[in-house]
Amino acid sequence: MASDIFNRKQEHLDICLTQDVSSRLTTGFEKLRFRHRALPGIDLSQVTTWTTFLDKPLGAPLLIGAMTGGTARGREINRNLAIAAQALKVGMVVGSQRIAIEHPEVAHTFAIAREEAPDIPLGANLGAIQLVNGYGAKECQKAVKMLQADFLVLHLNALQEAIQPRGQTNWGHVLPRIAEVIAKLGVPVVVKEVGFGISGEDARALREAGVAILDVSGAGGTSWALVEGYRHPDAMWKKVALQFGNWGIPTVDCIRECRKAAPDVPLIASGGIRNGIDVAKALALGASWCSVSGGILAAASESADAVQEWLDSYMSELRLALFAQGLQSVSELKPEHLVVG
């Protein structure tokens, strides 16, 4: 079992870097456009993308989403991501730390993120399914302490686990366990999907459980059904996984549903956020921040400079999207700025 979790980490990286595992659904952002202002009435120098996350400043409403850790290669990727995040003052979440809870000798592959990024909002990460498999507030606290993290992400990946060889499928008591951790942990808890989306119904239930922030993680980005299909040794299950390549709630629909169902819970938009214009659209729909991961992985495998260049383009695109509408800050983006196109 120990070798299984290490191999899985490495295989996930290899597949995401070399195979087309994009959801066969689109995010919905392509159906929206902004109204252009030929007379924006402001100077570009007046436009700022700065905001905050959990009272820490952010150069833009961006977080680097959960990707990896637990291996030498994962450590180097986390290092490159953290260096760029620190330079640009964006947030970051590490990959699932279960491997480091069970094998403390690899904790350094996650802790490198805080070493290289002492000032940014940094999130620890565990699978919510582990809360019905022996994990509780103690293990969650270990994950947070490992990084000196500002918050904990609990990820929901029921469909991925169901397709994954030897995946964990008993989700009957996950929600009450999440509520127990939230009550005991002492740092804000973010709950996110892994790319199939959070519905309004689930957003309402998570709000009642006390979640601090929801990451909608809608369909349109990486499909973990397809990732697990590439990994699966059984030909029948590979075929089954392929049928779920177009499964999930598109990101735009997730934002709208979650905003309506839990109007007082801040939202992170993720799932196919492919440029700074998508960031602006997500903010206009009601998200407070956006998280990016799949598209940045190749850059993170190369160098910290490549990650910084990649993020710089997002921030520049977001700033120009504001300017072209005559807006000076991200807080001014509203649903009425969007039209169906």
Q: Which structure tokens are listed for 175?
A: 């929600």
Count structural domains, the chain: 1
Query: Which band of pLDDT confidence, cut at 50, 70 and 90, is reported for residue 2?
Result: low
Domain hosting residue 327, numbered range? 2-340
pLDDT in tens, 68-123: 999 999 999 999 999 999 999 999 999 999 999 999 999 999 999 999 999 999 99
Query: Which band of pLDDT confidence, cut at 50, 70 and 90, is reported for residue 10?
Result: confident
Those residues with Cβ within 8 angstroms of residue 227's Cβ, 6 or more apart along the chain or in another chain: 12, 15, 16, 19, 21, 160
Most distant CA atoms of the chain, gap in Å: 62
Region 189-200 average pLDDT: 98
- Here the CATH number for the domain that contains residue 167 is 3.20.20.70
Compute the residue count for the chain: 341
Q: What's the start-to-end Cα distance of the chain, in Å?
A: 50
- Distance from C-alpha of 226 to C-alpha of 245, rounded to nearest angstrom: 6
Whole-model pTM: value is 0.96
3-state helix, strand, coil in the chain (%, to 5): 50, 15, 35
In degrees to the nearest 10, what's the CA dihedral of 279, 114, 95, 278? 0
Supply φ then ψ for residue 319, to 5 degrees. -65, -40
Those residues with Cβ within 8 angstroms of residue 250's Cβ, 6 or more apart along the chain or in another chain: 25, 26, 27, 28, 197, 218, 219, 220, 271
Query: Which band of pLDDT confidence, cut at 50, 70 and 90, is reported for residue 5?
Result: confident
pLDDT in tens, 253-299: 999 999 999 999 999 999 999 999 999 999 999 999 999 998 899 99
Amino acid, single-letter form, for residue 241: A
Region 185-196 average pLDDT: 97
3-state secondary structure of 6: helix
**The pLDDT value given to residue 341:** 75
**The pLDDT value given to residue 4:** 82
Whole-angstrom CA distances from 75 to 65, 82, 113, 140 are 15, 10, 9, 21
Question: Mean pLDDT of all residues in the chain?
Answer: 96
Q: Which structure tokens are listed for 36?
A: 């252009």
Query: Which band of pLDDT confidence, cut at 50, 70 and 90, is reported for residue 6?
Result: confident
**The pLDDT value given to residue 279:** 98
Among candidate residues 292, 281, 289, the one with its CA nearest the CA of residue 321: 281
